[in-house]
Structure 1
Amino acid sequence: MLGNLGVFFIAAFFEILGCFAFWSYFRLERSSLWLFLGVVSLIFFAYILTKIDVEHAGRVYAIYGGIYIISSLVWLVLVEKESFNKWDIIGSLIAVLGASIILFGNQK
């Protein structure tokens, strides 16, 4: 199960990249090539998420939610050069706690 964590983070990267590409096109008025990047990234994200070794899709998505929140905050700092605040930290810790309960509580 711990090997899945790397796959979760790779999936999160592609989802965030894909969504940020659309954000860049629509909000930052970047070129239409950003739309292509967004579509390709989101396809990779969806495919990679199918490689998680968990039996039910809904459980994968629930666990992924916590990973996505942490990954989004890392993106915020590394790509957007914006610091996170105490509410970002508190909220992400709660989300990761919930995801961890689902992940480790369902191990056989």
Structure 2
Amino acid sequence: MILKTFLLFVVTALAEIVGCYLPYLWLKKGGSVWLLLPAALSLALFAWLLSLHPNAAGRVYAAYGGVYIFVALGWLWLVDGIRPSAWDIVGVMVAIAGMMIIMFAPR
């Protein structure tokens, strides 16, 4: 269950990042206005993916933030070509620990 939840959060984060990155390319990098169509679809996918978690929405949103940080720093490295610092890695570990506590603590 932990791996399934984490992987669902990763896919959700990718959908959100793509949905925000494409308009950035249009606005800041001179990309085509047609980038907005897949961006909108990606953000709709993001919202749908968040709805697949069985926990309360607020808890899911809070925990998702930790995985989003992990994926965003991966994007920083793989897409933007900027290697995360040691402090970035420490921050990701803290965020993932927070996600695990929020999602998997006994209730």
Scaled by the length of structure 1, the TM-score of the pair is 0.90
Q: Distance in 1 between matches of 2:92 and 2:6?
A: 16
Q: Residue 24 of structure 1 aligns with which residue?
A: 25
> Mapping of 1:7-86 within 5 angstroms?
7-54=8-55, 56-86=56-86
Aligned identity (percent) is 37
Number of residue pairs matched by the alignment: 106
Q: Which amino acid aligns with 2:74?
A: V
Q: Residue 102 of structure 2 aligns with which residue?
A: 102
Unaligned stretches of 5+ in structure 1?
Answer: none
Cα pair 1:8 1:52 within 8 Å, conserved:
no
Q: Residue 4 of structure 1 aligns with which residue?
A: 5
Runs ≥4 in structure 1, deviation > 2 angstroms?
none
Q: Which amino acid aligns with 2:57?
A: A
How much is the aligned-residue C-alpha RMSD, in angstroms? 1.3
Unaligned stretches of 5+ in structure 2?
Answer: none
